[in-house]
Structure formats: C-alpha cells, structure tokens
Structure 1
Amino acid sequence: MTPTAGRLPDNIVYFVRALRRAGVSVGTAQILEALRAVQTVGFTNRRDFHTTLRAMIVTRAEHLLIFDQVFAMFWRDPEFLENMITNLLPVITAPPIDRPLKPAQNRAAEAMAAGGGNPRQAPPKEQLEVDAQFSHSNMEKLTQKDFDAMTVAEIRAAKIAIRSMGLDLPKVLGRRYAQAANMVQIDRRKALQSARRSGGEMMQLPKQRAKPRRLNLVVLCDISGSMTRYSRMMMHFVHSMAQAQGQSWAEVHSFTFGTRLHNISPLLTIKDPDAALTSIGNHVRDWEGGTRIATSLGEFNRHWARRVLSTPSVVLLITDGLEREGITQLEAEISRLALQTRELIWLNPLLRWDQFSPQAAGIRAMLPHVSSFVACHNLDSLQELSDGLRNGLHADHKTRVMGLLK
C-alpha cells in the first residue's frame, strides 16, 4: 500500500457525499468497488480517474451530467491532484457562477458548496443580502419552475407549498335519498305508508332527493428511473390528498409501480410527509428501476380493481407512458381500467414541452382510453389540475394531442 493510499478513501468518500447531496444514489458496496478499481487503475491521470469512478458509481443515464459537473468542480483547483498525491485532504472552493447553470449543474454546485471535508477559507467579501424569501416574484417563479430544474432549497419550498394544495371535486348524486319538501320526485314508499295509516287515502305526497356523496380517489404512480424527480414530488402531493381523506374524498387508495405493483395506502396515513415517504422507500424495492406499465396495470385490474373501484372513483395515472414492450397488453389493460372508473386522468410530466408529440408506442396506445391528459411538472400544473377537477377538466391536452395521432 502506498503512502498516498491512506488518504485515497477520504477523498473518494468526500466526492461520493457530494454526489449524494446532488441527488445521485451511491451505495457502500459501490464505494468499496470504486476504491479497488482506482487502486488497480491508478489516479495520477485525470481522465483514467474520471472514467474509473464513473463506471463504478453511476448506474443511471440521467446521473451522468450531475457526475460530470461534480467531478469538474471537484478538480477545479489545478493543485488538487498534487495535493491528493502528497496526502492532503481535498480543498474545495466553489467558483463564482458567471452564467446560467443547467439543472444538474445547480444541484452539483449546491452539493459541493454544502461541504464535506475541510474547505479552504475564502477571503471575506462584502455582500449585500436581500431577504426575498416570501416575495411575490420569487413565489411566482417557483410555481412555474420545472421540478427537475429546481435546486434543493426550491424543492424544499415546493414540498411545503404542495402540503396546502387540495383536489376539490364536486360531489355526485348517490343511491341514497333524503326527504326534501321542495323537490319534484315523489317518495313512493313514504306516500304508501302514509296512505295505509289513513285508510288508503293519500293526504300528502312526500318528496325526496338523492343525497350527494364524495368520490373515491385512486392513484397509480410510476416510480421508474425516468420518473424519479417527478414521482417523488407527486408522492408529496398524494400524501396531501390522503391526509384530506373524508374532507375532499371519501377514500384515497394509492399504488406505486415500476417493475411490480405496491399498495402504499396504509403508509400514507402517517401524518409527517417525510416519515411517510421514508416508510414508502423502505417498503418499495423497485424505486428508480425499470418500468412494466402493462404488467402493473394488469395486476391492479385482477387483484385490486374490484376492491377499490366498487364505488364511484376517479383514477389518477401518473406516468410518462414510455413502455417499450407489451403494447397490445397495455392497450387492453388501460381500456379495462377506464371502463371501471368514473374518470381516468393521466398526469404526464412530458407535457412540460410545448412541442410534445405522442411518438412513443406506449403513449399512443394509452391516450385514446383516458378521460383527460394533463401535465404534472411544476406547481402551476398541479394547481391547474385542482381547478380543472372543480370545473370538469374541459381544457386539458387530450384533444390537441389526439389530433397529432391522426
């Protein structure tokens, strides 16, 4: 073991902590494998070191950009490689940002600025701080910003905003009736009972009306790798809906699906949203994995639909629809699901693009069977969903997108 090897684990652990803060999931086993690989390949050449670490640490294509940005900031100091070889801990000074950063660069810069070792003390500078946390312009920008482009602080603020959101759907007429003197419909049973007591004469005609009732809400949320950032934010949204059970909705049933279907309804009864999502993360094993939409919908139709859709329900299907296999099965399962619901609303984050076109086979198969097709990529889109449900969701994207299919 060379003398420099004693500090090599510290440097790599520091780097991995920065990646984790930037949103890249790295396990302990990956760190150990990276250490073995670096010791074999060596770390005197920057390109070799970069390629080795990326091969051992990055497992998702969407994390490549974040890795590259954190690595670039990690090696920004030209003396860092020499210091590393001479057994010094890394010294990181995040450079000033002179140009607008991409979403991954924002999170990378925040991760490096958060610290994780002994950062170099930069000379003090005079700064003018303006507290605009609650300003209208900042809040307006936040509501319009894509979840995937948000910084860590903005995500935290968005989660707080989501807690105050609700989906208020007008009540529907149920099968039960109540007496109402000013209605037109006659309560025949009450009229006949009254006639029996008066020797067959109907002295009055009692009236009735159907009692309004709340609908059930059923949520099916895609947690595959392509939906990572959006599914986590939507879980906070669904938790908010579950906490409003009995107020806006009769019952709330929630499921996640990636490679398999999971019922997370009991876990959403936990009041604290962070604790609830932690429990969901421990319960669901295929988070950020592959996606099998057709298989998951088929499992829901066979094992859960009769239980949770036996009363009038609205179904929120949260997915990007990027299914590559089983398109025929997918079309059959989505059609079966649509027949069992009062309204099937598809929330798709891909609608964040104005020029969205239904090119994927999965999207083309599912779109004709849903009632509404709406976006779910920022706070404004969720608020529009709430307002649209209240008004009947007349102005969604389905009509426009269906026109592109012809």
Structure 2
Amino acid sequence: MTYPLSSDHRALQARVRAFADRFLIPHEVHAELNDGAFPDGAEAAARAEAARLGLCAMNMPKALGGSGLSTLEQVLVSEQIGRVTNGLGWLVTTPARCLAEVATEQQLETWVKPTIRGERHECYAITEEEAGSDVDAIRTTARRDGGHYVIDGEKWHVTSANQADYLVVQAKLADGPNAGTHALFYVECRAPGVRFVRTPAYSHTYAHHHPIVAFEGVRVPEANRIGAEGQGMAFTHDWFRYERLMIAARCCGAAERLIEEATAFAKGRIAFGQPIFDNQSIQFMLADSLTELWAARLMVYRLAEAHDAGEDVKILHGQCSMAKLYGSEMANRVADRAVQIFGGRGYMRENVAERFFRELRVDRIWEGTSEIQRSIIAGQLAKRGQEALIG
C-alpha cells in the first residue's frame, strides 16, 4: 500500500512535481555548464510560477503573507524540489519561522515581511572555521556598547550570502549578565565592518555561493537582536530540526529521480544482446535503492505528521536526527549505484547521476554531520528509551 495521503495532499504533490518537471529540470544541464544560472528569462518564469502555486515562504504564517503549509505539506513540496539538481529549486524559500515568532513590529516590517514577499533575501552566518558541529565553540562575539552591540568574528560557509542583502548572525555575548550565551542579530550586508573575505569553490554547481564573511567592529542597534539575550542557541536548534527534516525529504526526492532515470536507462541499454536491466546485479542495485527509499519516505512522512500533531519537541529532535541520518545516507547510496548503472555516462556532468553524486554528499555534513546525528540519537536513547523514540 502507498502512504495514506489525502486527495488534497496528492494534488499538491502533483502540482509541485509538474512545476519541477516543467520549470526547473529542463534547465539543469544549462545551469551545470553556466555556474548554476538559469537560461535568460527562465528564472523569472519559475519564480512567478512558484509564487502562483503558493510555494514561497511556505513555512511562514498566512497572516504575514506566507503560505502557512502544514509540516506534511512542506515535506511533500521539499521532496519534489529534491528531484532537481543544481540548486534550481532553492527559489522555493523557507525563512526560519522562529524569526517571525519573536519579531518586534520593526523587525517584521524591516526584514520578515519583505523576505516573505521576496523583496529581501537572508542568509545565516553561524558556522566558523573552528566551529562546525560544535556550535558552542564559535568565537564571534557581540559586545554591548550603549544601545548597540559590536560584533567581531569570521563566519564560514555562509550559504547564499552572494544573493542576500542581510545576514542573521550568531554570536556569543562578551559581557553583561548573559555573557557566554548566544544571541542572533540582523546585520545588513552593506553595514560598515562587514567584509566578504573570499568565496571558495565547492563540489556542486550552484548559483548560491558559500563565502567566508568577516565582521570587524560591526555596530548593530539593540533593536536588531532577535529575541532575548541567551536565546540564540534555542533558535538554532529549532532551525536545525526543521532543516534536518526537509533535508531528509529532499533526499527522498533525489533518490526517486535517480531510481526513475537509472531504471529507464537500464531497460533501454543493450549489452551482450539484452537490456542490462535483465542482469541480476543491476536488478539488485535498483531493488535495494527502492526499498531504502520507501523506508526513508515512511519515516519522513510520519515525522511530519508528528510535528503537525504537536508531539513532544524533545522526542522530535531525536527523530529529526534519525530522518536526516538515514535519508542523507540512503540518497548517497542510491546516487552511487546510479552512477554505476549508467557506467561511463554516469561520470559525465550532463548526467543526473553525476550531479547528484556530488550534490548529495554535503547532506551528510551540513545541519549536523552524520556522526553528530548518531551522537544525538544515542543520547536520546539513553535519556528516553527506545519506546519513546520509535514506539
């Protein structure tokens, strides 16, 4: 049996799939050979269609102009967007919902609402050269100076910074009663003291870059602080839970596309007088891939429903780690098998398997490495027991 989705959910799934098939996937090879860019006019058309379908800011409240989709609906959207290579689906935006939940009226009007409308673009400056998985090891500081904070530090892997006009910066408070705790701040990209150090080249071919950004005596008003002092880490954990689930969903979409493409190729590729699909070795790779995809999809859909039902966030934290761990590693295995099935073609950049082979690798690293996810899961098991986590 298939997963018991409602007719409305199936219709949403079909709409987003059709959107990806028509407005995104046809431009993948062009993007691969042109630094991640759409052909002329294609990006504007895709953005317009995404807006028409209500896909942008899908996680934000309707009252603020977002789509207000349920977590399950967001998973269904993310899964279909995951079928697309080259980051072309990143025009379906999901600003961190916690920003809206704690925003002052000024912050809503200055940053949150314009971002929801697509008029402004954000990026998140959290990771540092010596602080990746261990977020508490960040050295970026925010020091009080009257009604301002002065931020000093350097951030790495600032995804989409080249397309953003403001940053959400995580820093440790250097003084005051909350010294040593974390806070988040809105910082304009053009603020004095913000310096783009360099933009490293990465394995994937995305128009969204990941620069290193320095903050040198950057003064921001107290009004730019997000929430209260000391809440920064809680907001980051909330974002990690969300992103880990959506990464798992996108990995399901990638695996689905790879299985489709590899199966079609295997049926048509003739070697030694017969389709290579008839070879048991090929069948076994596809069978293993399909089985793992089904398991990951069941996990992701059920976890999305648990979020919508308001289940214990501490349990959900561990389960999001399980979904991200299994989904990302599953998709990497599927990509590896797909490259093998395509043979020499699977090593060509114009081939979907080659692109996914590179692109999916980072899903085992960002938003918490596979090793960190295992540590979280084991910690949850020790604290709460097996029944609490998986029934």
Q: Which gives a bigger RCO, structure 1 or 2 (Cα 8 Å, sep 6+)?
A: 2
Structure with bigger helix share is 2
* TM-score, structure 2 normalization: 0.21
